[in-house]
Chains A and B, each alone.
Chain A
Amino acid sequence: KAGVTQTPRYLIKTRGQQVTLSCSPISGHRSVSWYQQTPGQGLQFLFEYFSETQRNKGNFPGRFSGRQFSNSRSEMNVSTLELGDSALYLCASSAGVLGTDTQYFGPGTRLTVL
């Protein structure tokens, strides 16, 4: 089975721009979660989508948004980029039925904001 894929792997943007990241989950998985990883704050949960609906949300400003399509692929968008948004963005997929379902992570998208 193919793993979780994320595109692009690397991105460079300037302050004020917006960016869209994409995540393709493992086939059959209905849940996609997004995390931000930075050296200072560590791994922080952004949001989770299940069957095209946002099921959980972390504590991030409204500039961070996401969506999920009927094929379970997910995108996250960051508008009005700030320097502090530079991070590794990880997505994870799971069956999403039980809280014990294992989350499988993609390799991440490295976003650099200049």
Chain B
Amino acid sequence: AQSVTQLGSHVSVSEGALVLLRCNYSSSVPPYLFWYVQYPNQGLQLLLKYTTGATLVKGINGFEAEFKKSETSFHLTKPSAHMSDAAEYFCAVSDRYNQGGKLIFGQGTELSVKP
């Protein structure tokens, strides 16, 4: 069964510092990979996704992620944190062989940004 592990339930960075949120998946076949962000009292918003092709994926708000098959990882980065980046971030996977919308989520990482 597929699973997703996000290392660190809370990450704190200073404004302007590098943001690195870690995600590892467990699957015999590389799945589709997603990063979502959730602001308080809101639903989830897609930041970026990896399906096929180039392993470095650029998303919205300056975020990017790199798919590394050998490390079964899909870490999310942003060169310079902004106060507005404070939110909860979720890594998710879906089965390549399933047409359907079944996402398996990690436990989430809450990002705090200090002024």
Contacts from A to B (Cβ < 8 Å)? 4, 31-33, 35, 42-45, 48, 50, 55-56, 58, 90, 92, 94, 96-108
Contact = CB atoms under 8 A, between A and B. Distances in A.
A99 B42 contact: no
Contacts of B99: 50, 55, 96-99
B46 A103 contact: yes
Interface residues of B, number: 27
B105 A99 contact: no
A105 B43 contact: yes
Contacts of A100: 32, 49, 51
Contacts of A92: 43-44, 101, 103
Interface of B: 32, 36, 41-46, 49, 51, 90, 92, 94-108
Contact of B42 (A35, A48, A97, A107): A107
A106 B101 CA distance: 15
A96 B43 contact: no
Contacts of B36: 105
A21 to B, nearest CB: 14
Q: Main SS of the interface on chain B? A: loop
Nearest to A34: B101
A106 B97 CA distance: 26
B98 A99 contact: yes
A35 B46 CA distance: 15
Contacts of B95: 99
Nearest to B104: A45
Nearest to A45: B102
Contact of A96 (B42, B101, B104): B101
Contact of A48 (B45, B100, B105, B106): B100
Nearest to B36: A105
B65 to A, nearest CB: 15
B44 A56 contact: no
B45 to A, nearest CB: 7
